[in-house]
Chain A
Amino acid sequence: MDFTTLSRMQFGVTIGFHYLFALSTLGLTVYILFFESLYLKKGEIEYRRISDFLIRLLAIIFVFGVATGFMMPFAFGGNWSRFANFAGPVFGLQLVFESITSFALEAIALGILIFGRDKVSKKIFWLSALLVFLGSHLSAFWIVSANSWMQTPAGYAVVDGRVVLAGFWEAIFNPTTVIRFLHVIVATWIAGTFLAAGISAYHLLKHSHEELFRRLLRISIMPMVILTIIQILTGHAHLLKLIEHYPEKDAAYEGIFHTVKGAPLYALGIPDAAGETIHFAFGLPYMLSFLETGSFTSEVKGLDEFPRDLWPPVNVIFTTFHLMVLFGVAMLLIGAVGGYLKIKKKLFTQRWYFIVLLYAIPLPYLANELGWVGTEMGRQPWVIYGLLRTENASTISLPASQVAISLSFIAVFYLFLSVIFLRKFIGVIKTGPAGADREV
């Protein structure tokens, strides 16, 4: 395998692994801030117990997230040095803002959350929860902004063979930053609700800390439904942006090979890029045209409008995109059933539903990973859309053998880290919160 392919694989492994911790962090910080706010306002110790328990989980996730995050700047400079040199003046700037404004805030304030409960007032503790929430979300903003700039670059000029910053705000708020940030954030919050609901379900099945985990589950159900619906809308809005700014990627997501009036919306199917068709296609006729323009008979641009060598890898991204949507629908159904049970006041009497919630914990994680695989592979053959092709972004001075060594080592090492993380994380979940439940 060549250097570029190995480097892509390594980047996929390292970012995919790191992202699992990043998205868990974001989801948990919302819960912690919520319960700390309730504790500050109402003073009920049960809210503090839930929050303390979630902080213990966050502490483990954060350590793994920070540690695995070290790998990313290494990859930009080591494997993708021509990209780093070409795009440093814009992309590097966004990383500086990320590290200064958000990582610092998050990492330092987290010390108070984990170690400062009995050293500060309730207000200062609440403020720390707010800062960790803001820091982690701001961090996500800068990273999504940098990634969006690679998808839909703006606010730049190319001078002497490299990028120069021509408009700061245009680069930061490039055409897809805001909608992609919303889509990513909502995805992490959904993962948070499924994690909280799944942990609650585990304890309710075991009859441990039932009062406390009933609260946590009750609070999680409606956001599961509402956020999943919002997510469908942000996803749709993102696709509309793509039609405007990156139409070939949208065509690949939807499996539209030929420009057509009254395009169907495929729900399932096996894509065949070579044959330029979708086998066993199942979908709604005319619906894609309607969703994209409001008219059932309007024209939708197909991949045939673009040179073949600029097509994204259709088979992969059609599949990952549709699997992501499928998982999203499954999450919506699970949330909706919970909402129905809650309204009917049967939420805590249906053990089968607890089992569903427990096994549904990985669903949003899978959907997130699939979404990112689709979006990153969907940018191929570009690293920066329209500006720098992947084959021209990788390092030329390094032999492929060095990346083969590093990739093999990282794969084994991350497998080991996964095992020790899960052992510790599940151990804390099983132990549950400190103290005994109170009758409320």
Chain B
Amino acid sequence: MDTITFWQIMGFSSIIFMMFMYSILDGFDLGIGILIGFVTANDEEKKKLLAAVTPYWDGNEVWLVIAVSTLFAAFPAAYSTMLPSFYLPFLAIIILFICRAISLDFTYGGSRIAKIPLAVFSITSFLAAFFGIFFLTVIVSGITIDGTGAFRVTAGNLLRPGPMVFTAAWLLLLLLHSISYLAGKSDGMLKERLLRYAKRLWAVNMALFPAALVLLCHDLPEIWGKPVIWLGIAITISAMGLHRIAQKPSLEKFMFPLSTLAMGGVWLIIAGALFPNIVNAARQDNALMTIYNSSAPLNTLKLVVLSAMAGMAAIIAFALFTYGILGRKRKKQEVLL
């Protein structure tokens, strides 16, 4: 393996890892946004769920921001081809993220929960998660790339069972992940309700996940020779199997690590299905956008990857420290009155 190939692979792996971190961290924020209207019985419970999001969401979105900027710097040709190709869909997703962040800030109307901002937060969380995942599964399943290398998303690319079922499976996994997080942080009726939801979501997910894999195989038959795909499948299925065992009051603290592991397995499948492409082409196309033909020169690539790796380690350490502090119970403080 020559030097630049090594750094191109490292760049690709770094972006996949950043997206994995984003999906497990902002993933549960998104999931809580979607679930908040369904799993809560009153304003007190809603406040508990919101308290699990408000201090952390911007820190969690850091992972998406660094993934996007790393893609820009490490693979500028891919970045500058992808953005115009999905111009209005990307704009729509960004607007959804803006609405979501701002509506969250408005959910507390004094001591009460403000209904309209909460509804906006919930709907935009669903739409952002749905379109984000759908977009990803579409580019994994393959899109049309014309002779000039430009991407053309056709109705044929979109209206396939593969991306649709994969999106549904992943979205449900995201919800299961959020419930896993919340179950470990709650008690009483709320916890019982969350565990009930977890069992239902798990059952549907276990039916959809194999179907999603079979359909992915139909779209991309060549990926089955890759060991990383099988590793991803093994991790996801094992983690999901153990998750079912953990769905009881005494073991619920294991649910979150296990759903995180399952998400990690899914990202391995995604990475395996894409590599070495940044975007998969529909079967009849031959102009591919790969990490090899879209990367920055070696010196930039090396700098980006090394700083991204050091930065990721620092961000994880800092986030663990900060979240540890914010997870503490309040201590007695000077009274302002």
Contacts and interface: CB of A to CB of B under 8 A. Distances in A.
Interface in B85-114: 85, 87-88, 90-91, 94-95, 97-98, 101-102, 104-106
Nearest to B321: A108
A238 interface: no
B69 A78 contact: no
B307 A97 contact: yes
B311 interface: yes
A344 to B, nearest CB: 34
A33 to B, nearest CB: 18
Contacts of A101: 311
Interface string B177-216: 0000000000000000000000000000000000000000
A280 B98 CA distance: 46
Contacts of A120: 325
B91 A74 contact: yes
A338 B105 CA distance: 36
A110 B58 contact: yes
B80 A77 contact: yes
A52 B73 CA distance: 38
A66 B61 contact: yes
A71 B299 CA distance: 28
A99 interface: yes
A355 interface: no
B91 A77 contact: no
Contacts of B330: 118-119
A45 B61 CA distance: 34
Contact of A96 (B77, B304, B333): B304
Given A67-B98, A92-B73, A406-B87, A77 B325 contact: no
A71 B98 CA distance: 9
B87 A78 contact: yes
Interface residues of B, number: 66
B326 interface: yes
Interface in A49-98: 49, 52, 59-60, 62-64, 66-68, 70-71, 73-74, 76-79, 81-82, 84-85, 87-90, 92-93, 95-98
A8 B272 CA distance: 39
B296 A398 contact: no
A343 interface: no
Interface string A19-62: 00000000000000000000000000100110010000001101
Nearest to A80: B80
B66 interface: yes
Contacts of B91: 74, 78, 406, 409
A233 interface: no
A124 B322 CA distance: 10
B80 A85 contact: yes
A85 B77 contact: yes
B94 A77 contact: no
Contacts of B82: 77
B6 interface: no
Contact size range, A? 35 or more
B54 A115 contact: yes
Contacts of A165: 297, 299-300, 303
Main secondary structure of the interface of A (DSSP, over half): helix
Nearest to B330: A118
B337 interface: yes
Given A81-B84, A114-B55, A165-B300, A88 B76 contact: yes
A164 interface: yes
B303 A168 contact: yes
Interface in B23-74: 54-56, 58-59, 61-62, 65-66, 68-70, 72-74
B318 A108 contact: yes
From A77, A101, A107, A402, name the one whose CB has the most chain B CB atoms within 10 angstroms.
A77
A52 B95 CA distance: 30
Interface string A315-336: 0000000000000000000000
Nearest to B323: A111
Interface string B276-312: 0000000000000000000011011001100110011
Given A48-B334, A63-B101, A105-B318, 13 more contacts: A48-B336, A70-B98, A78-B84, A96-B73, A104-B59, A109-B322, A112-B325, A115-B326, A120-B325, A165-B303, A395-B84, A409-B91, A417-B102
13 contacts: A73-B65, A77-B72, A77-B82, A87-B76, A88-B296, A96-B308, A103-B65, A107-B62, A115-B55, A116-B326, A164-B297, A397-B84, A405-B88
Interface of B: 54-56, 58-59, 61-62, 65-66, 68-70, 72-74, 76-77, 79-85, 87-88, 90-91, 94-95, 97-98, 101-102, 104-106, 148, 150, 296-297, 299-300, 303-304, 307-308, 311-312, 314-315, 318-319, 322-323, 325-326, 328-334, 336-337
